[in-house]
Structure 1
Amino acid sequence: MNNNFKMIAKTLFGFEEILAKELRNLGASNVVEGVRNVSFDGDTGFMYKANLCLRTAIKILKPIHSFYVRDEKDLYRKIYDMDWSAYLTADTTFAIDTTVNSENFTHSLYVSQKSKDAIVDKFRDTVGRRPDVDIKFPDVRLNIHIQKNQCNVALDTSGRSLHHRGYRTATNIAPINEVLAAGLLLLSGWDGQCDFLDPMCGSGTFLTEAAMIACKIPANINRKEFAFEKWDDFDEDLFDKIVESSLNKTREFRYKIGGYDKAPSAVRKAQDNISNANLSEYITVERENFFETEKYTEGQLHMVFNPPYGERLNIEMETFYSNIGDTLKQKYPGTDAWLITSNLEALKFVGLRPSRKIKVFNSHLESRLVKYVMYAGSKKAKYNKTIKE
C-alpha cells in the first residue's frame, strides 16, 4: 500500500539543484525543482529522514490544503471551512508563519492574524473552546503561502529552521548560516576525498559541515527537536530506527580538516562548536594568520572560506583581497580555493582569474562563490605534461 504524500523542502536561492540531488539520493520520488524549494513525495518515515539528513533544506512542509483566494474575507471563510480537527484540538497550541507575494495580500502578519482568527473561531463555534497561540514553542506550526491569488496551507514538520543544527553555541560577528555553508561545500564539489582547509574559519561552521559531509553524518543529528515530534501521530520507534539506520551509513575519514583564525576568541569558539558536534578527532583549529601560512600537505587541498566583506567587519579591502591572491599564488600550489563574498568589487584585487563564479545569497546579500585553481607548478607545465601522457 502506497502511503506517500507530497512534501515541499524550502531552500536558499541557487541550492535547488543540489537539494533535489540530495532528495533523490535519500530515495524521494517525484522530485521537482521550484524557486527556493523542491517538491517531492514520500511517506512518514521519509519525512523524518528528510528532516534528519538533508543538508540544504531550511524547512520540510507537508501541504494540507490549497485554494484560490480573492481578499481577506475570502481567506477567513476558506480557512474557517477547513477541517481543523484532523490537526488540532482545543488543547493544542499553534503558531502560523506566513509568506506573501500578492497584490491583494501585502502584509504577512495580517494574513497570519486573520487565519488565526478563523481557526480559533471555528473551534469556539464547534466545541465551545479555542486553542491558544504559542509563537515560540507551539505544538503545531502552520505555514501559509500566498502567491498572487493562490493560497497554500501546510504543516511545518521541522519547527525552527533546519540551519539550527544544534552544535553551534558560540558565534562571531559575521557567522555563516549552516545550511548556506553546507550548500556552498556541496557546490564546490567537496566529497571528503582529500585534505580540507578553511583559512578564516571564524566559529568553525565550514569545518563542521565539511566533516559531516566527509563522514556522511546526518546533518541534524545534534538537533534537539523537530516539530513532528510533538504531533499526536509521532512514531517514536520508527524515528529511532531511521536515526540508527542513518548513523550506520557513516564512514571513516582519513584525511585532514584544518582551520585557521588569527583571533584567539574565534579559535576557542570553533573548538567548542566542533566539540559539541563530536567531531574533534577529525578537525584541527589553530591560531594563525592565513597570509603567513603555507600549504601543509603535498597532496591535493580543497579550500573553502568566507572572508570579510566589509559589511560588518572593518578592513582595508584592496590590501586584504590582494593578500588573499598573493598567498594562494605563492604558498598554496595544488589547491582548489573557493571563497564567497558579496563585495564583487573586492574580487578584482585578488589578481587571479577565477575558473568559476556561482551566484548565491548570504542572507539578503547577493554574493558570488568563486573558484581559483592553484596548479602545482605552472599551468603551462601541467598542460604540457598532460599532452605527453
Structure 2
Amino acid sequence: MENNFKMIAKTFFGFEEILAKELQVLGAQDVEQGVRMVSFKGDKGFMYKANLSLRTALKILKPIYHFRAYNEQSLYKGIQGIDWSKYLNANQSFVIDVTLHSDHFNHSQFVALKAKDAVVDQFRDRFGKRPNIDKDFPDLRINLHIHNDQCSVALDTSGQSLHQRGYKTATNIAPINEVLAAGMLLLSGWDGQGDFIDPMCGSGTILAEAAMIACNIPANINRKEFAFEKWNDWDNDLFDKIVDSLMNKTREFHYTIKGYDKAPSAVTKAKDNIYNANLADYVTISQQDFFTTEKETRGPLHMVFNPPYGERLDVNMERFYREIGDTLKQSYPGTNAWFITANIEALKFVGLKPSRKIKLFNGKLETRFVKYEMYEGSKRAKFQNNNQEE
C-alpha cells in the first residue's frame, strides 16, 4: 500500500520470534527479524495499533533517513540533509537519543550535541529562530543509530519505553519488567485457555500481563501518552477508532488467575496494580507462602513466576531452590511450571529435570527461563498410559 512505511520494533534478546509473530497476527507487512529488533511495514493507523497492542516491543521507531559519516563534519552535513520542518516547528522542542557502535565516534553525548547543532542551525538559517531541547517531555524524540560509518535517523513513535504500561504505581525490590513478563508468558505458551498461578507474585506484573493476554486486552491501553500524539500529523479521530477496534476484540475469560506472596506489603502492592489495570475481575491475590500451598484446581495448571535471586535473596540458596522443587513435585501435579532465574548454578538444587531451558536477559543479568512438567502420578505411568492408548 502506498501509505505504508517501514518501522522498527525494539525488543529483548530472545523475543524476536514472538514479536514477529505478534506483528504478523496484528497485520503487519514485510515482517523481518533482526537482533533485538523486528522490522515491518504499515501505515499511520498501524503505527498507533502497534504501540497500543504489542506486548514484547520496547519501542517503535520510524526510520526517516540514512547516510554515511566518518567524522563530525560528515555527521553534521548528514543531519542537515533532512528537512526538519516536516517534523518540527521552531516553537517546539526535541531531544536526540544516540546509540553508538563505531570506531569513528566514541562519545554519544558529543554525537548528540553535533546532531542537535545541525538541526538548530537549519531552523535558525531558514526561520530566524530555533526549537529548544527538552530531555524530559520533548515534542519530538529523534533516534540516531551509528554502526561503523552507517548512520540511521528515526523518529521515536513511542516516547517512554513501552514496558511502562501505565498500571503499575507500586513496586517491590527489583520488579520484573512488563515486556519481559509478557514475553515469558508468550514463550511459555500461555493463551488463557486454563487456570494460571504466580506463586511468588511480588507487585503483580506477571499476573497483570497474564490477564491481559487471556482477555486479549491491548498491552498499553492504560498508558497516558505516546510520542506520536505530539507530532504535527497526529490524528486523534483515527487513534480513537483504533482503540475502539482493539477493545471490541477483547474476550471473556472463564478460568482462574491467582497470585500468592508471603509478604503482606507485596500483596497490597499487587492488588493496587491489578486494580489500576482494571483487571480485578480476573485476578485474585492472597498472602501465602508457596512452600506451604498445594494445587487447588482439578485440571491442568499453568504456572509462571520470578523467584527472588541475587541481591533479592536473603536465605540459603540451596535450601530455597530445593524447596521449589519439592513443592512442585509433592503439591502441584498436572502443572506446567516455568520460572526465570539469574542464579543458573542454583537450578541443580531444584532436583527436577527441566524440559526446556531458554536463555534470556533481565536487564544486564543473563538468566534461564526453565520449564518443569509436573505429571499427574509418575512420569513413567503417564507414558505407559499413553502407549497403551496408542
CA distance in 1, matches of 2:94, 2:312: 36
TM-score normalised to structure 1 length: 0.99
Residue 363 of structure 1: CA displacement? Answer: 0.5
- Secondary structure of 2:238's aligned partner: helix
CA distance in 2, matches of 1:356, 1:112: 43
Residue 299 of structure 1: CA displacement? Answer: 0.6
- Secondary structure of 1:180's aligned partner: helix
Partner of 2:143: 143
Q: Runs of 5+ in structure 1 lacking a partner?
A: none
Correspondence 1:4-43 to 2 at 5 A: 4-43=4-43
Residue 89 of structure 1: CA displacement? Answer: 1.0
Match of 1:277, as an amino acid? A
CA distance in 2, matches of 1:268, 1:308: 18
Partner of 1:154: 154
Partner of 2:86: 86
Does residue 199 of the first structure (1) align with residue 199 of the second (2)? yes
- Secondary structure of 1:345's aligned partner: helix
Correspondence 1:1-389 to 2 at 5 A: 2-389=2-389
Contact 2:178 2:205 in 1 (8 A): yes
CA distance in 2, matches of 1:123, 1:79: 12
Contact 1:165 1:178 in 2 (8 A): yes
Contact 1:310 1:317 in 2 (8 A): no
- Secondary structure of 1:372's aligned partner: strand
Aligned residue pairs total 389
Aligned Cα root-mean-square deviation (Å): 0.8
CA distance in 2, matches of 1:112, 1:306: 37
Contact 1:162 1:220 in 2 (8 A): yes
Match of 1:257, as an amino acid? I
CA distance in 1, matches of 2:218, 2:207: 15
Residue 311 of structure 1: CA displacement? Answer: 2.8
Residue 92 of structure 1: CA displacement? Answer: 1.2
Match of 2:214, as an amino acid? A
CA distance in 2, matches of 1:276, 1:41: 33
Residue 304 of structure 1: CA displacement? Answer: 0.3
Match of 1:273, as an amino acid? N
Identity of matched residues, %: 70
Residue 98 of structure 1: CA displacement? Answer: 1.0
CA distance in 1, matches of 2:133, 2:110: 15
Contact 2:88 2:232 in 1 (8 A): no
* Shift in alpha-carbon separation, 1:314–1:105, aligned structure 2, 3 A: farther
Contact 1:306 1:339 in 2 (8 A): yes
Moved more, 107-116 or 199-208: 107-116
CA distance in 1, matches of 2:321, 2:370: 13
